[in-house]
Amino acid sequence: MYLTRFRLNTARSGARKLLASPQAMHAAVMSSFPTLLPSDTDGPRVLWRIDRTSRAEVFLYIVSPPKPDLTHLVEQAGWPTQPTWESYDYTPFLSRLAKGDVWAFRLTANPVHSIRRKAGEPTKLTAHLTQRYQK
pLDDT digits (tens, 9 = 90+) for 12-40: 999 999 999 999 999 999 999 888 776 67
Q: What span, in angstroms and rounded, lies between the C-alpha atoms of 8 and 15?
A: 6
Q: Tens digit of pLDDT for each residue in 50-107?
A: 999 877 799 999 999 899 999 999 999 999 888 789 999 999 998 999 999 999 987 7
Confidence of residue 134 (pLDDT cuts 50, 70, 90): low
DSSP conformational letter for 10: T
CA dihedral (36, 40, 43, 46) positive or negative: positive
Provide the pairing of β-strand 112-115 with 85-89.
unpaired
What is the radius of gyration, based on Cα positions, of the chain?
A: 18
Please spell the DSSP secondary structure of 60-119, one letter per residue. Answer: EEEEESSPP--HHHHHHHS-TTS--EEEEE-HHHHHH--TT-----------EEEE-SST
Residue ranges covered by each domain of the chain: 2-96
pLDDT of residue 83: 77
Q: Render pLDDT for 103-122 as a digit per residue (tens, 0 to 9).
A: 998 777 777 888 888 888 88
Neighbours of 74 (CB within 10 A): 19
Per-residue confidence (pLDDT) for residue 84, from 0 to 100 = 81
What CATH number does domain 2-96 carry, 3.30.365.10, 3.90.870.10, 2.60.40.10, 3.30.70.1200? Answer: 3.30.70.1200
The torsion region of residue 120 among left (phi > 0), alpha (psi -120 to 50) and beta comes to left
Give the integer Cα–Cα distance in Å for 26 and 98.
31
